[in-house]
A and B are shown apart, each in its own frame.
Chain A
Amino acid sequence: MILPTFELHHPTTITELVEIARDLTAQGEAFDYMAGGTDVLPNYKNRLNPRPHVISLARLAGLDEIGVDRIGARALVDDLARSSVLSEHYPGLVEAARSVSSPPLRNLGTIGGNLLLDTRCWYFNQSEFWRESKGYCMKADGDVCLVVPQKEICYATYSGDLAPVLLVLDARVTLVGPDGERTVPLREFYAFDGITRFLKGPAELLTAVDIPSSSRELRTGYRKLRMRDTIEYPVAGVALALHTDGDKVGRLEVAVTGTEAIPLWYGDLDLTGQPATPATAEALQEALVDRVTCYRNVPFPPGYRKAMTGEYARELFSALVG
């Protein structure tokens, strides 16, 4: 499929990149950053919001380190999946990385692109021809939502695998842009709406993901529901992080993906002090199912996906208690 035409920029340093982004912004020219391109290019092929400029990160030096505290935004998903340091400290992150897309796509896709993945919906991820015949929706070219028409926001489903694990690990993201650098907790980065998705300026570049050392006490795990075991996005995914204090829950963190327009961390789901037993695992299952909402815009019925988040949370809790 021929891509729409765009001007391609290849900065080799962050300073150069920020300058290009500043100039384009000043000229009122829209652009996209592109790392691995495994999300940008399929969307461009389908004519989903292509921009006249693409700033490629392919020739940027660095930003690809993988350490226990810091992961560069350009680190490949496949390198995360094979990292011995991550597998020692954060096995849940490695499990999630190994479940992303397929091996050749993991050789292209980056952690930055994964966190900033566009949302997915039956009415959106379609060809131009399909969308024209059905009628466009407001995420691209139209003005109504075809899933929840009475609402004025988009309910497309966030489908990245790494975000829930990084949410339970309380990761921070570093952003660099024309106004300088800032670090934001991932838990405050996503904001509900399938179109705007996160609190990031269009010119801000994600440079790194930091994991606080306090998260090293946590045992982590990840499970996802998908149509087949490979090449499929999560349509419900659960990440759990647990620290036990004797035979009690010391700290428990829960996050989901593949349910709503953003990945969600359930900070109010507090089971501290509860016994680390199957009964608590069931209480967690019930509490999570109560909180999760799914929409009818990706494979599998919403009720099934919602129920599966509970099942996975219960299974993961028991597995992490060990």
Chain B
Amino acid sequence: MKRTIKLRINGSEHELAVPANALLLDVLRNDLHLVGTKRGCDMGTCGCCNIIIDGRAVNSCLVLAFDVEGRDIQTIEGVTASADDDSIHPLQEAWAECGGSQCGFCAAGFIMTVHALLENEPQPNRAGIAEALGGNVCRCTGYKKILDAVELAAGRMAATT
């Protein structure tokens, strides 16, 4: 049986009807068509579905939608350089420049995780970035280019603030 749920995603309020057992990942992708968030392992082991809830990166495949009513949810669709337009974020720019993604499937999860990290710690060192990315798996890049991209973006973001 479906019930009404109110979710705040990327600053906008959404009201829809979903069943009690709905996972946040499914609501994002199937009901709200925010398909930037990817379903990988569906068991919390790959990080492809990572989003940000109240400033913390979490696996959306292991979150019940009804558990996060009233919380602040951010997905890759909300990651832009400026709040007024959809220009690409320095992290996305650096990802493209450094070759941080090849097949691209894991990229949104990585970027959301790092986005949360940089909010709390704008200048992490390489080991700190690697530690924060301990829940994200990439099968193409070998991770070096991802770490390069985060360092590049963090440096640029620090220089402009």
Contact = CB atoms under 8 A, between A and B. Distances in A.
Contact of B135 (A36, A37, A102): A102
A103 B68 CA distance: 19
Contacts of B50: 104
Contact of A45 (B43, B59, B67, B137): B43
B65 to A, nearest CB: 10
B56 interface: yes
**For chain B, what secondary structure do more than half of its interface residues adopt (helix, strand, loop), or is it mixed?**
mixed
A108 B59 CA distance: 8
Interface residues of B, number: 29
Interface size classification for chain A:
20 to 34
A216 to B, nearest CB: 28
B67 A1 contact: no
Contacts of B135: 101-105, 230-231
A255 B109 CA distance: 37
A240 B137 CA distance: 32
Interface in A31-63: 34, 36-38, 41-42, 45, 56, 58-59
A189 to B, nearest CB: 26
A250 to B, nearest CB: 35
Interface string A1-20: 11111111010000000000
A7 B21 CA distance: 8
B90 interface: no
A78 interface: yes
B21 A8 contact: yes
A293 interface: no
A8 B44 CA distance: 21
B134 A230 contact: yes
Interface string B41-52: 011110100100
Contacts of B137: 231
